[in-house]
Amino acid sequence: MNRIYLEFQVEQPVRQQVGSVRPRYPQALKKERVEGEVQAQFVVDTLGLIDTSTVKILTASHPLFADAVRQVLPELQFVPAEIHGHKVKQRVAQRFLFPPPR
C-alpha cells in the first residue's frame, strides 16, 4: 500500500519520538540573537522515517533556519501513522521554532 494519508484520515497520526534530535540554531545568527521559524512538509514512511524526496520548506524566517531544518530531517524519528493496526505513510506539516540563544 503506497497511499499517502493526511492526519485526519488516520486513526493514529504520526508523532515525533521522544528524544529525537532537534535542529541546531545556526552559528552565523547567534550574535544577532534572531528568533526563527520554519514550516516544513514531508512524508513519514511506515518505518517512522522521513522520505527526504518529499521535503518542502513552506516558509522560513531566514534561509539559515531552513538549512538547519533540512540538515536534521533525515535524522528525525517518528512513530508511524496507523489505520486498523497497520502502519501507513502520512504527509506531515511541522513547525520548527528557533528561540534566540541565551
Instruction: Note the pLDDT of residue 1.
Output: 57
Q: What separation in angstroms does the CA of 48 have from each of 23, 29, 41, 77? A: 18, 31, 15, 6
How would you write the pLDDT of the chain (102 residues) with one tens digit per residue? 589 999 999 999 999 999 889 999 999 999 889 999 999 999 999 999 999 999 999 999 999 999 999 999 999 999 999 999 999 999 999 999 999 988
**Predicted pLDDT at 91:** 98
Considering the entire predicted model, what is its pTM?
0.91
Amino acid code (one letter) for 37: E
Q: Which CATH class is domain 4-97?
A: alpha beta
